Structure 1
């Protein structure tokens, strides 16, 4: 069983979550990671030269564990920029390497080429079953005909229909018994579907906003307009926006609806959209395209930039006139107050003196006090039965 060799050569308990939020009750690996690697151990030993793909590896347990078990060609798809940074940091600290390439690990995006010829897929089961179906279809279409998929999760977080999500793509699908409160799903014998494959965007026309939102599975409020975002858009009027805006930022852009709205209401401004998720930035690009053209004297291609980033780590200090933000308060399955706070810290650093931050949040959250402490004077500009919208001035 899992333990001996792997724990001796790669102590999972020494993994860190950094640069994600760290505390004594948050861990960088769990029993699901151990169970996935336990089931992968013999397959890697039988074919150490085979290509392993890890998907949604939270902090590097799967990719680094596969390396410790003897895999020498490892690809990794991590939607979150924080997860990607954590894998790199853990590799440097635990294996004393300067780059992932020294361990045979390469980062990939959500493309068929990432799955091409893969022999073994190790993955955490995502919350979104649409994303799970997308991964299963990519694996069945493009991986080796003999590919094995080992997908795991803690039992309390395993969606009820997770096993069913594999049936359209694999002829043999089974689920393990619970072990240390974790389970794995084993998928074999891929079903090859004919025809081209495209990212499964869902396009939804909103008749009230007169806009189209396009999003991929796994993106916040997939295939709909989040009610907090809808309320925030209703407050982005000339009365609440600064008189002069050269650069605006949609911080945590999600599907990109706020970005598209800013491009419409600020015709003389450039707009930066940033999100931690690559699925979100892909969705934002498409949402922007579907809602254009945008009336402006500026070159439309130069008016906006979409970035996958940890907050605003790539934005210069004191460079932004306006930031709009609908901050998250969950990280994965857990409530995470640090997620919003870190965005507010970035806003404080990047706003020009006199710059404006407009934020929407659930009214029960203490964000107004946090904004006043981190960014500057904050006033409530709207409130309904669930949400509050505030305007904060950077001083």
Structure 2
């Protein structure tokens, strides 16, 4: 949204924009550079509060500002095809900020509004980064409620609980998600208590699917003018209120108890000896209810080298050609043995954990992930899909299999220093015989490899003497030299057209 949409009175050095800029510049170097989404929200909320912008982010009737008439559909209407002449602002008594990775959105909302702010992020690493930014501004820190107080309840239920702390209908600000399913789940939880639902993001990340999803819950969806290649989708007039003939700013109270169910699918694998696993995934869980092909290659490598005594069967490539041969296992005294304590460092939807439980039914399993949605998904997957759940083909076929333990799942930023947690439940150095790792290489929509480097170091700390890391990665990322530097040496266990699996042993 061009700053010219706001009158000079709001932009001058003694105006409200300049006042919040001073607070924000103390936290974010070069503000507003590098924060186009937060700047857009700052101007939108300031203009709404002053009565110079309407709900669409355009000049309100009679404001005297020059109107901007082009939306993203290019025909002068908003994304839902509605007019822009109504939308009188009713201040929300509170706000919810979702998936704010830097804290800039939460600070902007708190500095430009009068009510309390609930800040929620699926990634607890993003939430911690935002917390540090918020704590740097003493004037608003006490008004922003973060998820730390409800962290033992991961996933959407924590958000539903937090929404009930607000005094009335609220405004929701969401950083544009990678998947429409994420927005759908947030809407199911929050639309009943949100008078207005705003999605902010870069133009290239704002698909029309987001407009359509908002239109399922709201009668009006506006597309704001753009600013620095960012824009807003603003949903108003909740359908639940309109259907009952009530005011458009009065959603149905108490409906935030409704928690969406995860998507679920029965997943088969080409890895011998692994049964079908019923996989569940909430919207923000990477990959959905599927098995990742890299994790499949990793699992087959574990089966071949550490699994039951059976001839190794290499997975064919997608085009049917055989994969590259694994390097021979070193013939020193430190031969791999079946693991008793297994950690999946970034467990995602839990498929790999459940499959490892089928492969090693006597092992104690632990899964760690930074995502609330991932931990919630893995809990459902492991309850239904591991051999001690509801669909055990492995134990039915072999009643003499030892009883596996239910995996322990830990919501944790695995890049943080050890130990994780406290007391008897703490995860500390030297606890595991096997750490499996399929490291991420995206941070939101940005490609990065720093997280993987840190996780490889963390795996080295977590392994007991003689324990093994088994790591899979996209071959072009070339992580093996990092493994070699951390562990001293590594061996390639598998490779196909896309992925490489390497293993390295901790010193005995």
Which stretch has the larger CA shift, 184-193 or 329-338? 184-193
Structure of larger gyration radius: 2
Query: Tell me, which stretches of 5 or more residues in structure 2 are unaligned?
Result: 1-5, 12-16, 51-88, 244-251, 270-274, 308-335, 389-394, 396-400, 421-426
Equivalent in the alignment of 1:5: 19
1:343 to partner: Cα distance? 0.9
The residue that corresponds to 1:61 in the other structure is 104
The correspondence for 2:380, drawn from 249, 274, 286, is 286
**1:1-395 paired onto structure 2 within 5 Å:** 1=6, 3-11=17-25, 14-15=27-28, 30-41=35-46, 50-92=93-135, 94-95=136-137, 102-107=142-147, 109-111=155-157, 112-116=160-164, 117-141=168-192, 143-144=193-194, 147-192=195-240, 197-208=258-269, 209-237=275-303, 239-240=305-306, 242-294=336-388, 300=405, 303-311=406-414, 313=416, 314=420, 315-395=427-507
8 Å contact from structure 2 (residues 191, 197) kept in 1: no
User: 1: CA distance between counterparts of 2:409 and 2:224?
Assistant: 41
The secondary structure found in structure 2 opposite 1:65 is helix
Matched-pair contact (CA < 8 Å) for 2:197–2:235? yes
Deviation at 1:330, TM superposition (A): 1.1
Cross-structure match for 1:20: none
Question: How far apart are the structure 2 equivalents of 1:222 and 1:104?
Answer: 31
Deviation at 1:297, TM superposition (A): 5.6
Identify if the C-alpha distance between structure 1 residues 360 and 28 changes in structure 2 by more than 3 Å, giving closer, same or farther. farther
Offset at 1:161?
2.4
Other structure's SS at 1:200 match: coil
**TM-score normalised by length of structure 1:** 0.87
- Shift of residue 278 of structure 1? 0.4
Q: 1:365 to 1:182 in 2, by over 3 A?
A: same
Sort the Cα spacing of 1:362 and 1:202 in 2 relative to 1 into closer, same or farther, 3 A.
Answer: same
Please tell me whether the aligned partners of residues 156 and 189 of structure 2 are also in contact (alpha carbons under 8 angstroms): no
1:124/1:50 CA distance change after superposition, 3 Å: same
Q: Is the 8 A contact 2:189 2:260 kept in 1?
A: no
Task: Select the structure that is richer in strand.
Answer: 1
Residue 374 of structure 1 and its aligned partner are, at CA, apart by 1.8
For residues 350-390 of structure 1, the C-alpha deviation after alignment (integer angstroms, 9 at most, x for no partner) is 11221101111111111111111123321111111111111
| 1: CA distance, partners of 2:495 / 2:376 | 31
Aligned mates of 1:63, 1:312 — CA distance in 2: 24
Tell me, what secondary structure is at the counterpart of 1:162?
helix
CA displacement, residues 66-99 of structure 1 (integer Å, 9 cap, x when unaligned): 222243411111011111111221223x2259xx
Q: Is the 8 A contact 1:49 1:73 kept in 2?
A: no
Q: Which moved more, 1:277-286 or 1:160-169?
A: 160-169
SS at match of 1:322: strand
Secondary structure (helix, strand or coil) at the match of 1:254 reads coil
- Distance in 2 (alpha carbons) for counterparts of 1:282 and 1:151: 24
In the alignment, is the contact (CA less than 8 A) between 2:351 and 2:382 conserved in 1? yes
Q: 1:322 Cα shift? A: 0.6
Structure 1 residues 4 and 101: CA distance shift in structure 2, 3 A: closer
Distance 1:232 1:118 in 2: 48
Count of residue pairs the alignment pairs up: 377
**Pairwise CA distance, 1:185:** 0.5
Q: 2:313 is matched with which residue? A: none
8 A contact 1:115–1:138 mirrored in 2: no
Question: Does the CA-based 8 Å contact 2:387-2:404 persist in structure 1?
Answer: no
TM-superposition CA deviations, 1:229-253 (whole Å, max 9, x none): 2222222215236424332100111
Deviation of 1:299 after TM superposition, in Å, equals 7.8
CA distance in 2, matches of 1:281, 1:124: 21
User: What residue ranges of structure 1 are gaps of 5+ in the alignment?
Assistant: 17-23
Cα distance change of structure 1 residues 299 and 389 upon mapping to structure 2, 3 Å threshold: closer
Q: Which moved more, 1:127-136 or 1:33-42?
A: 33-42
- Partner secondary structure for residue 15 of structure 1: coil
User: How many Å separate the matches in 2 of 1:199 and 1:346?
Assistant: 34
CA 394–213 in structure 1, closer or farther in 2 if over 3 Å, else same: same
Q: CA RMSD in A?
A: 2.8
Segment drifting more, 208-217 vs 170-179: 208-217
